[in-house]
């Protein structure tokens, strides 16, 4: 997951994955029979679940949209800093390089994003926003975060991520 996140799906080779993991080649194909595509699918699922868990914790802790968005942006900025601006979204690099040609990665990528939206939209709805508007705002937030991660990586600055809460007008 980390290699795909930092280098991209296409630029990460199976030899590099094996060297990083220390696993024998036979184990790779035993657990991931479709090879790299199976690994990509598993990485997207794992990363999607990790972010969903973080979003659930933030949604439980921060009851207003403004507090939630600020905390979400702060968490993403922290993750970017921890990676020394070498990482981005845990699933974007894999999904962008494989969708729609890989049906399995496309499917799990859509499921991951949908799970995030299903956690975020109720935060907006709690503030009295209609269900439709809450869904729209949650999509806007995820899209803004995704774009801000690219800008943060290129600029080597968390400023684009941290500016989202101010820009959303919450």
Query: Is residue 118, in this structure, part of any structural domain at all?
Result: yes
The answer to whether residue 105 sits within a structural domain is: yes
Looking up residue 98, the CATH number of its domain turns out to be 1.10.357.10
Band (pLDDT 50/70/90 cuts) for residue 45 is very high
User: 12-41: per-residue pLDDT in tens?
Assistant: 888 898 888 888 888 888 888 888 899 999
Question: What gap in Å lies between CA 113 and CA 63, rounded to an integer?
Answer: 21
In Å, what is the CA distance from 111 to each residue of 18, 48, 95?
27, 8, 12
Q: Is residue 9 part of a domain?
A: no
Q: Considering the domain boundaries, does residue 56 fall inside one?
A: yes
Domain with 135, as residue range(s), is 43-167
32 in a domain, yes or no?
Answer: no
Q: Give a yes or no: residue 31 inside a domain.
A: no
Does the residue 22 lie in any domain? no
* 123 domain residue, yes or no: yes
Q: How many domains does the chain have?
A: 1
Share above pLDDT 90 across residues of the chain, in percent, rounded to a whole number: 69
């Amino acid at each position: 997951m980390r290699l795909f996140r930092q280098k991209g799906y296409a630029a990460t080779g199976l030899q590099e994955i094996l060297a990083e993991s220390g696993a024998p080649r036979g184990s790779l194909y035993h657990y991931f029979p479709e090879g790299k595509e199976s690994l990509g699918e598993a990485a997207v699922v794992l990363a999607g679940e990790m972010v969903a868990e973080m979003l659930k914790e933030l949604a439980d802790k921060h009851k207003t949209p403004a507090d939630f968005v600020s905390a979400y942006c702060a968490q993403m900025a922290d993750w970017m800093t921890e990676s020394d601006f070498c990482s981005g979204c845990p699933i974007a690099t894999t999904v962008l390089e494989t969708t729609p040609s890989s049906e399995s990665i496309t499917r799990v990528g859509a499921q991951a994003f949908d799970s995030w939206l299903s956690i975020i939209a109720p935060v907006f709805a709690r503030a009295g926003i209609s269900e439709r508007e809450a869904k729209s705002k949650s999509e806007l937030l995820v899209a803004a975060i995704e774009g801000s991660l690219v800008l943060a990586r290129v600029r080597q600055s968390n400023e684009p991520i941290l500016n989202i809460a101010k820009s959303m007008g919450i």
